[in-house]
A and B are shown apart, each in its own frame.
Chain A
């Protein structure tokens, strides 16, 4: 059974204080690892997809990296508008049409002035 564990559960940062969120996973053959941002009362918003160990992707203050066992979401000099819940999900290799995503429980990030 695919499993995704995210840590920490909650994180409070001051504006400008960089940090990293962790996503550990076990999956029977990784097809893709996804990062989403979710604001309260909204659906998840896509951030990144990573496909193979060693891959990195960046978008503004966010950078996602991937190893064979975990992924990190690095947040550099965060701003209050980065406050949200960050979700990690894995997609296993399965034949046929789009396979389901297995989500972690998320990290609730709060960035204060």
Chain B
């Protein structure tokens, strides 16, 4: 089956620094990748949609200069949280879409900003 690898699973960073999260489809090519944010006991909130080689489309209210998304290839997308603040602490999840496997989710990244 399809596997999406997301790293790191947990990261703690200091306020003001940047952190990068990687999302990689291991055995398939993803036409589109999605980035979500999830608060405790809440559902997944879509942050942005990215297609390989083009700029990401951000949902309303999501700061594109703060959450930088790069989709360099059909198997790799990265989310960089720039100048992180404690309110950016959350659970971030990526999803890779393909015609064959539908939507496959990564295992998530718990970001804590101190």
Residues of A bordering B, CB below 8 Å: 34, 36, 41-46, 49, 87, 97-98, 100-106, 108
Contacts and interface: CB of A to CB of B under 8 A. Distances in A.
Contacts of A87: 43-44
A95 B83 CA distance: 36
A102 B103 CA distance: 12
Given A41-B110, A46-B104, A108 B41 contact: yes
A94 to B, nearest CB: 11
B111 interface: no
Contact of A43 (B31, B41, B42, B106): B106
Interface residues of B, number: 25
B48 to A, nearest CB: 10
B35 to A, nearest CB: 11
A106 B31 contact: no
A34 B103 contact: yes
Nearest to B10: A41
Nearest to B51: A97
Contact of A42 (B42, B95, B108): B108
B71 to A, nearest CB: 12
B34 A100 contact: yes
Q: Pick from A34, A87, A103 the residue with the most CB of B within 10 Å.
A: A103
Nearest to B44: A103
A106 B43 contact: yes
B41 A44 contact: no
B97 interface: yes
Contacts of B32: 97-98
A102 B49 CA distance: 13
B31 A44 contact: no
